[in-house]
Structure 1
């Protein structure tokens, strides 16, 4: 997907950690555009800089050289325009589901009635409205992650950054949450950058799959996912899906072998 005004832009981004003999390059000369409303998944062997790239967009770490832009402005730190969801749910156990979703809205100074209405809207989008008054300890792993997604959406970010959000879940729950994410996206479209090790997941939810090469992390290949939305089980089992998945596997495996 091309866009003259990309939502997210990496411009020759490099990132190093450490100093002297102990330094290593996590990313080298990454140039990439992500369009407004696009879902991009990022895959690659361990150590290829997937999470580092996402953390740069989130403003959680800076670049060593180059520039990362969101809405045409350089990223200099975290901001409410970017919601971040990690593999661990990071819910407050002493707050109910709805209070967890309201938390960011309260920090923004939104009034009680308005933030409750907003929170209920996004809980409804992720299928948790009936659990609004429950505490996180009573929820399954999948429900906790849906709560985290609702909380991220509620503060109205234009960009959603997801780092292995379903990685700790069983296979069936993972598939269900992939469908839930796409359903939520279809109703309230955001730009999504999704980090994963699961190639099937990467293909199923994305417009494009970004394959990074390891040691140091750099752009290896961009694979278009020319499959229609909404996605469903029929698409997941189609020959077209299998062909794209195999292309991604080959790109990741070949690069992993070279890095080994």
Structure 2
């Protein structure tokens, strides 16, 4: 497998008053170029910590994280990061928010505008390019955040529960929007979620994590064709894979569940 992202025996500890808390206890994982991988697991299993380290926002205590064979030593333009909170500037329009990272990177004005408009059109916000965030719904704000990440042309998208705060219908709509966008450019995606259905619907592989300390409990292949459709979501094969993931997450051994 041609690995785009590699986690090699990654350990992360945090100091507490009298001891250290081990959030991740030796995680090793390879994600292929252009692969869409989702990560699920119980609260406290280190999903977001894993994402933060891949983004370069946290450093591993030991082990290494590589992108294209190069160690991650901090944030970089090759990695776009999207969180559950939209983090939009309320005084800037959709276009200005999407252009922000390009402006920081000193991209010339004409090129900045072209790339921003392309990203805005990609997520279906063309009619709202001049709107302020207060005029947008929650789903539209998240699409703006996704467009901002896409505009800087990252090779990797790191998404930490980006649809977690949205209502069920909007969440499904944005899942489909994300897959349409991904099918056009096939960036490598690492997507954290608590939602088992979402994990199965989006991914080619689901990584199931366990807690106490955080580690990989299992890897489940999702052998469903793209593009994903409502028919696939309602199919017996989808239900079978979903049940496998659900069982792996919620029927972990007693020591894992209690940790």
TM-score by length of 1: 0.97
2-side partners of 1:207 and 1:30: how far apart?
20
2:114 maps to 1:124: no
2:84 maps to 1:91: no
Q: Deviations over 1:59-88 (max 9, x none)?
A: 000001111101100111111110100000
Contact in 2 for aligned 1:214/1:255 (Cα 8 Å)? no
**1:181 — aligned with what?**
178
Contact in 2 for aligned 1:207/1:224 (Cα 8 Å)? yes
**Which ranges in structure 1 are unaligned for 5 or more consecutive residues?**
none
Contact in 2 for aligned 1:213/1:256 (Cα 8 Å)? no
2:127 maps to 1:143: no
Q: 1:128 to 1:256 in 2, by over 3 A?
A: farther
**1:250 — aligned with what?**
247
Per the alignment, in what secondary structure is the counterpart of residue 49 of structure 2? helix
**Which ranges in structure 2 are unaligned for 5 or more consecutive residues?**
none
Corresponding pairs, count? 257
1-side partners of 2:89 and 2:19: how far apart?
37
Contact in 2 for aligned 1:159/1:190 (Cα 8 Å)? yes
**2:40 — aligned with what?**
43
2-side partners of 1:256 and 1:124: how far apart?
46
RMSD (Å), alpha carbons: 1.0
Q: Deviations over 1:206-245 (max 9, x none)?
A: 0100000101000100000000000010000000000000
Single out whichever of 249-258 and 152-161 deviates more from structure 2: 249-258
- Give the C-alpha shift of residue 34 in structure 1: 0.3
2:27 maps to 1:30: yes
**1:6 — aligned with what?**
3
Selected match of 2:49 from 46, 49, 52: 52
2:228 maps to 1:231: yes
**2:151 — aligned with what?**
154
1-side partners of 2:147 and 2:254: how far apart?
39
**1:204 — aligned with what?**
201
- Give the C-alpha shift of residue 21 in structure 1: 2.5
- Give the C-alpha shift of residue 22 in structure 1: 3.7
Per the alignment, in what secondary structure is the counterpart of residue 169 of structure 1? coil
Selected match of 2:64 from 62, 67, 76: 67
Q: Deviations over 1:178-222 (max 9, x none)?
A: 000000001122100000000000000001000001010001000
